[in-house]
Structure 1
Amino acid sequence: MKLINFYTSRKNLQIHKFRRANIGWKKLGLGTKVFIGFVVGIILGLIFKEKILLIKPVGDIFLTLIKMIVVPLIFFSITSGIFSIGDVQKLKRIGTKTLLYYVITTLLAGGIGIIVANIFKPGEGLDISSIKASSDFQASEIPTLSETILGIFPSNPVQALATGNLMQIIIFSLFLGISITLIGNKAEGLKKLFNEGTEAMYKMTAIVMAFSPIGVAALMACTIGEYGLKIFGPLGKFILVDYVGLISVIIIMYLFMLKFIAKFPLTKFFKSIGKIWVVTASTTSSSGTLPVTISVTKNDYKVKEELAQFTLPIGATMNMNGAVVYYSAAVIFVSQIYGVEMSISQQFLVILMTTLISVGSPGIPGGGIVMTIMLLTTLGLPMEIVGMIAGIYRIIDMGHTTLNVTGDVVSTLCIARSENMYEEDSTPLKKVI
């Protein structure tokens, strides 16, 4: 009898501990849960190595669910964000600032990438014969400049929505939002439809993101399991230089913007930006991270909803600070490998080119690799190395996506300050620009 009581009490104690742990887990914020999943994924990948690829479908399902919500979220949020601003002149002013911030920061990021690559010289003395090219790599057809520009505008918005062409969806949403604004009170029914549609997408986003700790853990486990520490081989210096460039953009440019333009507390910024970073690192998708980006910008940074819904979806498609750092560094990397001296004017041309093509790359499958080929071909540089970079591209793309999205948020905070569009602001602020 005593033995039965002992086992019963022990079982009850275990159940009690499990319930306490479950309650503790539920009390954790989503960002903390995702970070735990991120760390667990890394540990599992290091322990089980390639065997962990058995759980790859779990991560793929999570990515598929995110892709499922991206198109309607962008469509509803941009359209409602535009007519929620109301004043056409204010909309024009915010739109101009958004484009200026995105273009200027992209140019500066490209310059920083060039400088870092010139300082650390990742391609000097590299023996590329020891590097294995990715067997999955295939060069895609490179679009011309006119094709890229023409491809931005939708001839059939329904087709753009069906195929997930984000740039075309954004253009159509901009036109629709402006049209609804100009109609005024006659469009109250449409406004209600889009506002309710936006709320429904936010709710769906919350449901999908509830699975993010598991999805992130699976994605990171498979990434680490597949690559392990072998990435720090012959291409290790390029990977290191790429990340030094990304970190330099944060330190040199973003911190300046936060402190002197956005006048936003750095501690508050870094306290919440980690929630976004763990998702960008695992999904390597600016658009896929958009639900989290909007949520953090609205709820943690207190930016007004209509501004966040306008600037962030546009930034997720055209503001590619991280990608431009990579493009610039990759060109210098290849030129150093083959002993090609690039003049200052040629390097400046690289910065301009990478800024222009960064808008076109999201709509192209494997955009980063295809754009690298386009750059090297235009500059007359050998492109054999691209197949090798493709083998480790996911590792560096984790950093590119993280910087891309961080740039979207920082620019939005700057615009929010200049337009007095923080929820907690009670007094008008001086305009910054």
Structure 2
Amino acid sequence: MKTTGPKTGIFAPWRNLMLWQQIVLALIVGVVTGIVLNATGNAATAGAIKNIGTLFLSLIKMLIVPLVFVSLVCGMTSVTDMARMGRIGVKSIGFYLGTTAFAIAIGLALGALMQPGAGIDLSAAAAMEPVTAPPFIQQLIGIVPKNPIAAAADGNVLQIIFFAILFGLAINLVGEAGKPVRDFFESLNSVVLKLTEIVISFAPYGVFALMAWVAGTYGLDLLLPLGTVIAALYFGCVIHAVLVYGGLVSVVARLNPIRFFQGIIEPQIVAFTSTSSSGTLPVTMTAVQQNLGVSRSVASFTLPLGATINMDGTAMYQGVAALFVAQAFGIELGMSQYLTIILTATLASIGTAGVPGAGLVMLSMVLTSVGLPLEGVAIIAGIDRILDMARTALNVTGDAACTVLIAKSEGEIDLAAYDTPHVLKSPDISRG
């Protein structure tokens, strides 16, 4: 990336900050602004500020389809060893499903320990209809797009991944005849990455607006009574990130876990504020490659797959929420029901979209599987946005951890780049 000297002018202190510093500062200012607006009865103003955040999210979502398709095609064409690609796929799925089951277990343990549902009356909650998960075979068949253009229009990431893999494979198989197409996608990939860079530079403003809206809308009145539920999930996410992901990076990959967390701070904050794993994908792909030295061929495969099937944060949320509902209604759960929750949430995570609010649908499925009242979902829905922020940040962290582990195992990581503290800088788009 082109670097320039220190910027001057009235906004120089702001423009000279690293992008992650701008984002953190914007997050803090947004929270303070939102609390002030809520306390002074100006929640409507917070809703108006949200429009800026909505615009930023639209820009991010605009990148998802072209970035996933183009980068994955380029990743496939850069790998001629199909056996290696198969290994990467098996490792990715194994990592995602294994850590998801572990996350649910942590959620259940914290739910049993912290008793988030004790003393909460759910008798006034509205009844809800159960949501049943589609059969696994239906989810499997649904991976194959009937119309790739329609899949792109609908933003169906899993179908786009499937088509991009086959398309890239076909380019490889035709040999020399596919070279013009390969060169075209390489050039297009450079353009898409530059577009991504420009969009990411607006992240601080989007983060400020979204946090001001969340704090301004919810305030402290709703958060304090259900603070134990929020605390249990946030504590669980920290435990899972530090011990599970940090431990795997340190012990299995033999890499510095502190550098890992330094390198993914931008996607973590964007995921925290946007509550969308898929929406954060462009930021995650840029950070993992530039900050952690992961090769494009690995990142372009594992990250889109992870944004689709890796839901560790969402799965942990299922464990905490299920215990909350059971305790609030005075229902004792047995070991078989605990195991059912783990299995159901793990399998349901495969077909859960990486978009805001998808966790509530998944929670309805999990509660139904063990016979718990769905009225509890109505209460959880009131603080779902707050919970969604933590679980999405954990989902994205898991995607990055998997990518680093696989890249290290395949020799596809630049260790010098990984060990060099570096974070994305906001591009100076005024200079071209």
Question: Offset of 1:303 from its aligned partner?
Answer: 0.9
Residues 1:98 and 2:92 aligned together:
yes
- 2:77 maps to 83
Q: Secondary structure at the match of 1:123?
A: coil
Q: Is the 8 A contact 2:344 2:369 kept in 1?
A: no
Residues 1:112 and 2:118 aligned together:
no
Residues 1:228 and 2:226 aligned together:
no
Q: CA separation of 1:295/1:140 partners in 2, compared to 1, >3 Å: closer, same or farther? A: farther
Moved more, 329-338 or 289-298: 329-338
Q: Is the 8 A contact 1:167 1:363 kept in 2?
A: no
Q: CA separation of 1:140/1:55 partners in 2, compared to 1, >3 Å: closer, same or farther? A: farther
Equivalents in 2 of 1:321, 1:258: separation in Å?
16
Residues 1:144 and 2:134 aligned together:
yes
Residues 1:357 and 2:338 aligned together:
no
Counterparts of 1:8-27 in structure 2 under 5 Å? 19-27=8-16
- 2:427 maps to none
- 1:42 maps to 31
Deviations 1:267-312 (A, max 9, x none): 3123232222211111111111111111111111111121111111
Deviations 1:299-329 (A, max 9, x none): 1111112111111111111111101101122
Counterparts of 1:268-417 in structure 2 under 5 Å? 268-362=259-353, 366-417=357-408
Question: Offset of 1:60 from its aligned partner?
Answer: 0.9
Q: CA separation of 1:106/1:303 partners in 2, compared to 1, >3 Å: closer, same or farther? A: same
Q: Is the 8 A contact 2:128 2:375 kept in 1?
A: no
Equivalents in 1 of 2:377, 2:106: separation in Å?
22
Question: Offset of 1:58 from its aligned partner?
Answer: 1.0
Q: CA separation of 1:382/1:91 partners in 2, compared to 1, >3 Å: closer, same or farther? A: same
Equivalents in 2 of 1:211, 1:236: separation in Å?
32
Equivalents in 1 of 2:191, 2:119: separation in Å?
55
Q: Is the 8 A contact 2:307 2:354 kept in 1?
A: no
Q: Is the 8 A contact 2:105 2:342 kept in 1?
A: yes
Deviations 1:352-399 (A, max 9, x none): 111110011107884211111111122211001112211211100000
Equivalents in 2 of 1:101, 1:242: separation in Å?
21
Equivalents in 1 of 2:99, 2:365: separation in Å?
22
Q: Secondary structure at the match of 2:413?
A: coil
Question: Offset of 1:38 from its aligned partner?
Answer: 1.2
Contiguous gaps of at least 5 residues in structure 2? 1-6, 418-432
Equivalents in 1 of 2:378, 2:286: separation in Å?
37
Question: Offset of 1:40 from its aligned partner?
Answer: 1.5
Q: CA separation of 1:114/1:183 partners in 2, compared to 1, >3 Å: closer, same or farther? A: farther
Q: Is the 8 A contact 1:323 1:368 kept in 2?
A: yes
- Give the percent of matched residue pairs that are identical in Structure 1 and Structure 2: 39
Counterparts of 1:62-73 in structure 2 under 5 Å? 62-73=56-67
- 1:28 maps to 17
Counterparts of 1:225-264 in structure 2 under 5 Å? 225-264=216-255
Which amino acid letter does the alignment assign opposite residue 55 of structure 1? I
Question: Offset of 1:343 from its aligned partner?
Answer: 1.5
Q: CA separation of 1:191/1:68 partners in 2, compared to 1, >3 Å: closer, same or farther? A: same
Residues 1:155 and 2:146 aligned together:
yes
Equivalents in 1 of 2:197, 2:162: separation in Å?
26
Equivalents in 2 of 1:417, 1:365: separation in Å?
31
Equivalents in 1 of 2:272, 2:36: separation in Å?
20
Q: Secondary structure at the match of 1:85?
A: coil
Contiguous gaps of at least 5 residues in structure 1? 1-17, 427-433
Equivalents in 1 of 2:346, 2:177: separation in Å?
40
Question: Offset of 1:118 from its aligned partner?
Answer: 1.5
Residue number among 209, 220, 231 corresponding to 2:200 in the alignment: 209
Which amino acid letter does the alignment assign opposite residue 105 of structure 1? T
Residue number among 147, 150, 165 corresponding to 1:174 in the alignment: 165
Q: How many aligned residue pairs are there?
A: 405
For normalisation by structure 2, the TM-score amounts to 0.88
Q: Secondary structure at the match of 2:117?
A: coil
Question: Offset of 1:26 from its aligned partner?
Answer: 2.4
Counterparts of 1:176-195 in structure 2 under 5 Å? 176-195=167-186
Q: Secondary structure at the match of 1:342?
A: coil
Equivalents in 2 of 1:260, 1:208: separation in Å?
36
Q: CA separation of 1:207/1:123 partners in 2, compared to 1, >3 Å: closer, same or farther? A: same
Equivalents in 1 of 2:59, 2:154: separation in Å?
16
Q: Secondary structure at the match of 2:353?
A: helix
Question: Offset of 1:173 from its aligned partner?
Answer: 1.5
Question: Offset of 1:52 from its aligned partner?
Answer: 2.3
Equivalents in 2 of 1:113, 1:177: separation in Å?
39
Equivalents in 2 of 1:231, 1:265: separation in Å?
39
Question: Offset of 1:19 from its aligned partner?
Answer: 4.6
Q: CA separation of 1:104/1:184 partners in 2, compared to 1, >3 Å: closer, same or farther? A: farther
Which amino acid letter does the alignment assign opposite residue 178 of structure 1? L
Residue number among 46, 49, 73 corresponding to 1:52 in the alignment: 46
Deviations 1:82-140 (A, max 9, x none): 2212211111111111111111111111111111112212122322357x77xxx9868
Equivalents in 1 of 2:128, 2:191: separation in Å?
40
Moved more, 352-361 or 340-349: 340-349
Equivalents in 1 of 2:366, 2:182: separation in Å?
43
Q: Is the 8 A contact 1:127 1:234 kept in 2?
A: no
Q: Is the 8 A contact 1:88 1:181 kept in 2?
A: no
Q: Is the 8 A contact 1:139 1:370 kept in 2?
A: no
